[in-house]
Amino acid sequence: MVLGRALRRTPGHRGITEQRGNTSRPLVNVKRAEGVFTEKQKHDIAVRLTSVMVVDWLDTTLAPRHPVRVLDVAQERRERSNEDMTIQAGPGDPVASVTEGATIRGEFYKAEQLVEAIHLSLGGYHPGFRAVHALGRFYMGTFTATAAGRAYSRAAHFQGAPVPVTARFSHGSADPDKPPNKVSAMATRFYLPDGTDTDLIGISLPAFPARTPDEVLEILDAVRPDAATKVPDLAKVQAALSAHPATARIVQLVQEQLAPVSFARVQYRPLHAFRFVDADDVGRWARYHWEPEAGVAGQSEADLAQQPHSALFDEFERRLQEDPVTFTLDLQLAQDGDPLDDVTALWPDDRQRVTVGRLSLTRPISLEEIGDPVMMHDPTKVTDGIEASLNDQIIAARRGAYLASVAQRTGGWQRQSPVLADTQAVAQADG
């Protein structure tokens, strides 16, 4: 049985402890986190924390148009008792994964506030572009599962027959007029034989910098540019990092990363834990990892910033003219104590990995060819044989924030259907 590790504050200790049974040990010490940055690093963090917080928050478009299985924590709360909700059980691998003291929230918890905070703190609103990962291009190819993939999950795309895919590669920058930064992302859609599809969103971050929507709002407030200076207040940034040592640790790891030299040479991590269920209803928890078959390589962020904004896309497309670009999809298998609901937590590197498939991308593809003018990649859009953690507050909040942002930046159904909008106006006038 894999048990969720409880991360909590211990009275008298200015940090976060790891609770196992009746014992605990310091996991991150706040005082140590306060002292890991030089003055230059503090300045860089304040100016460039945008790169850390963007992740895939608003890889937004319209809501999914196919009938697919999505995570609905609110519905689960109505249908299950509180005790049942802390456990996703099935033969072989029941898991208690709630971080001690956590309150489970629905997917629309503070969704509008999150969207507004992202616009205020991460570069403003740019009509026609996503709020983050503003610059991106789509590519097509196939995904073929291995025998191990079929053994771990009954999901349709894990059965061994090639399935069509699209992948959107993007810069991490929220402003399309700014140069790319260290963060890049790959959002993949698998097109299943029954006419539905499922999404997998990977990013080059080692982990997500906040565990709950409320923590996200606190950090976004800290990095919001001052109205007068147009840059964040360094004191507020440092205070936020001191209050959230997990965030400070992830910021430090990102500072140490290289910028991409090619989208084809980046490791992409979908960050969340998923439960993979086989044909016999036996489940196993794991995290995804995309591994580039060309190998991992990078460059300094300064070198990348000197190149044209399209440099990474141009390089990727030159590769495609020679050969397909390929990635393997690995599952990192959870063991006792690995948290399943905390996206700020890193699992140990020695966890077993199993290769469950291979992605081969062959050429660019347009939205017109895809047939969906506003592709929305939704991390909760899973399919039978794969389950998201009901207690992961960030994966739920991502869906809610995406949908709220879509309505905001597209004008919602009122703009898409003038007939219905007129009907609403008449009804309000008559009322």
Q: Could you list the active site residues?
A: 133
Stated as kind and residue range, the H or E segment containing 301 is helix 301-305
Q: What is the number of other CB atoms lying within 10 angstroms of the CB of residue 411? A: 11
User: What is the C-alpha separation between 386 and 89, in angstroms, rounded?
Assistant: 13
User: What is the C-alpha separation between 424 and 234, in angstroms, rounded?
Assistant: 47
State the number of CA atoms in the 13 A half-sphere of 384 facing the CB.
11
User: What is the C-alpha separation between 34 and 400, in angstroms, rounded?
Assistant: 33
Bridge partners, residue 15, by sequence? 29
User: What is the C-alpha separation between 220 and 280, in angstroms, rounded?
Assistant: 44
Q: What is the dihedral of CA 94, 100, 103, 108, to 10 degrees?
A: -60
Among the residues of 62-106, which ranges form H helices?
73-79, 82-85
Q: What is the number of other CB atoms lying within 10 angstroms of the CB of residue 105? A: 19
Bridge partners, residue 11, by sequence? none
Which among 403, 426, 405 has a CA at the least distance from the CA of 71? Answer: 403
Work out the burial of residue 415: count CB atoms within 10 Å of its CB; fewer than 13 is exposed, 13-18 middle, 19 or more buried. exposed
Which among 301, 328, 21 has a CA at the least distance from the CA of 180? Answer: 301
Which among 44, 30, 350, 289 has a CA at the least distance from the CA of 182? Answer: 44
Residue with tokens 């048990």: 3
User: What is the C-alpha separation between 356 and 151, in angstroms, rounded?
Assistant: 9
Q: What are phi and psi of 218, to 5 degrees?
A: -60, -45
Distance of CA 121 to the CA centre of its chain: 18
322 Cβ neighbours under 8 A, 6+ residues apart? none
Which among 425, 97, 428, 18 has a CA at the least distance from the CA of 286? Answer: 97
Here the tokens at position 86 are 């802390």
Bridge partners, residue 363, by sequence? 140
